[in-house]
Structure 1
Amino acid sequence: MADSPVTVPTAADPVAFLDAVTNPVRRRDGFNLLALHERATGERAVMWGPAIVGFGSYHYAYASGREGDSAAAGFSPRAAASTVYFPYGFDGLDDDLAELGPHRVSTSCLYLKDLTKVDLAALERLVARSYARVTAEA
């Protein structure tokens, strides 16, 4: 797991944040990701920093000595794609990734340009499996 930028939970309203997204596809997908994450995690949405909609939390500690708390699952409607966060990466999630449809991944991020083109059941399984793994160690 690579060091990631520090984010903290805020009192900002996730629905107001999503309402303000100007790109109509990202806004639509943001609301769909909100509902999907609530189902997959059983948690209510909380804004982490100014642009991440997060669900639950976990404590991390890096070999560098840096540690803190972050969202156990989350997403952000970025300009180029909706970004879904997987704190522990994608090990063991290959089967659901193969069923997902058009996507791109980095170390701990899944990039989706349009949720209407992906298998939402596979995406919900990915989020649920990742969340369970992250929170099992909490």
Structure 2
Amino acid sequence: MNDHEDGPDAGHRRPDGVDDLTVEALGSLSKALETTERARGHLYSFHQLTGGADLELDRSVRLLREAGHREWADRVEAEILGRNVIPGHWTFQVVEAYNATYYRPFCELEREVVSALAQGRDHLYEAEMKEARRTSGHPDHTAGPPAARA
């Protein structure tokens, strides 16, 4: 099989009538969404790390009391343990607001744009970049996994 027959699978081929600038724009939109996915992951890290710190405060309060520092234990317990991270919000509420206000609408709009402009085909920009960078005949430069080429 030569490299022309072994190109991207149908789901990664540019539909007829889709121009270079549209493929580039869709690639940029995809990159922005991928960056948002990373940001969302960091938000979950913030959520879990803050929750873990709050749970560790239980130990700190207990140890301060055992060490005879009841006043400090009481202050940590009253002022920090269970405190909102921003007014009215624990971290789970920050995550929920982010998901509802930004993340889900972004995902939905990205899907609409890709469906309308590229027949729902993802990663056209990257697939074309891969084709341009593959080494003809090299076994580690195939267009896709064996099942995708079949």
TM-score range, shorter chain: under 0.3
Greater helix percent: which structure?
2
Q: Pick 1 or 2: higher relative contact order, CA cutoff 8 A, min separation 6.
A: 2
Calculate the TM-score normalised by the size of structure 1. Answer: 0.24
Calculate the TM-score normalised by the size of structure 2. Answer: 0.23
Higher Cα Rg, which structure: 2
Greater strand percent: which structure?
1
